Structure 1
Amino acid sequence: MEAQYVTKSYGKTVALDDVSFSIPCGERYALLGPNGAGKSTTLRLLVGLLKPDTGTIKIDGHEPFSPEAKSTLGYLPEDATPYRTLSVRENLEYIAALRGVKNVADATNRFLDELSLREYERAKVGKLSRGNMQKLSIALALVHDPKIVLLDEPLNYLDIPTQERVFKMLKSLDS
């Protein structure tokens, strides 16, 4: 993943100014900074939700908007909202199928169990607590076993035991 001389403004407000970085394959990085520093903007640029005003971004050698880049990414936006009228299971099955997962049932069951969502699998997302909605959002970002994972505030709304479980799950991604 690489960004070269990236600038992004919202009107007269400059969110990113001439930012460059490169993250080698297999590495883990955290993007830290105060509110308004441009962390979420950076992630939105990397996943192709925004276009930079200047500069270039490459994901695994491809433009962020390309199907090749999209297929390698798992993205959790801050305050993600899964499909509220679908159940937890339906959300997982839908996104897994959309992302080309070969065994949708296995992937769905794995995340229902790993993130303690089994008891809510038939519940509509709109009825979930924010913590359970966040767990589902994490599962949706990971269900297709992406090569690159970008998470914006992944621990929001999660209790300490769930945060530890999520850390353990993320650590196991590269094993």
Structure 2
Amino acid sequence: MTGTTSLKPGVWQKLDVVARGLVPAFSVFILLLINLLPVSLPLLSTASPALPLMAIFYWSVNRPDLLTGLTAFMLGLMQDLLTGLPLGVSSLVLLLVQAGSASQGRFFHNKPFIVMWWGFAFVAIPALLIQWFLSSALIGAFLPIRATLISYVLTATLFPLVAWALARAQNSLLRHV
């Protein structure tokens, strides 16, 4: 009987590690769902902050081992399917952000938060422009650039709030992973 009781903690510990390892992908998915909520502000009817982009950047810089390129790609496919964007656009953008940000994680390590914020603001510009351009090209007409610009301002402005929430999750759930 002692053999079976010693086996259970090992299984539960492994499941705990797996569950904690899924926190980054799950947080991106939750932010994607939040992005789908209808917003009834006049200027924001066609624009919203790129919440999943924020999370992809954050986790790629801080825990690239837990948010791989494949995960970013799959979350991008989900985003395209749920938002109606041409299939593959968000996948490419999130994959590019993941790869670029993960490779620069050392640069952001032990720097003040403002450095990460500026880094994100710098990364978000081409990411949103690529998304706008590819979406426009794939539907055969230029989408209104104003919505992309408003989205950028919202995204860059709200990044500290989202990063704070993700940092709390990282500190409380991923200490031992």
TM-score class normalised by the smaller sequence: under 0.3
Structure number with the bigger relative contact order (C-alpha 8 A, sep ≥ 6) is: 2
Q: Give TM-score scaled by structure 1 length.
A: 0.28
Larger Rg: 2
Q: Give TM-score scaled by structure 2 length.
A: 0.28
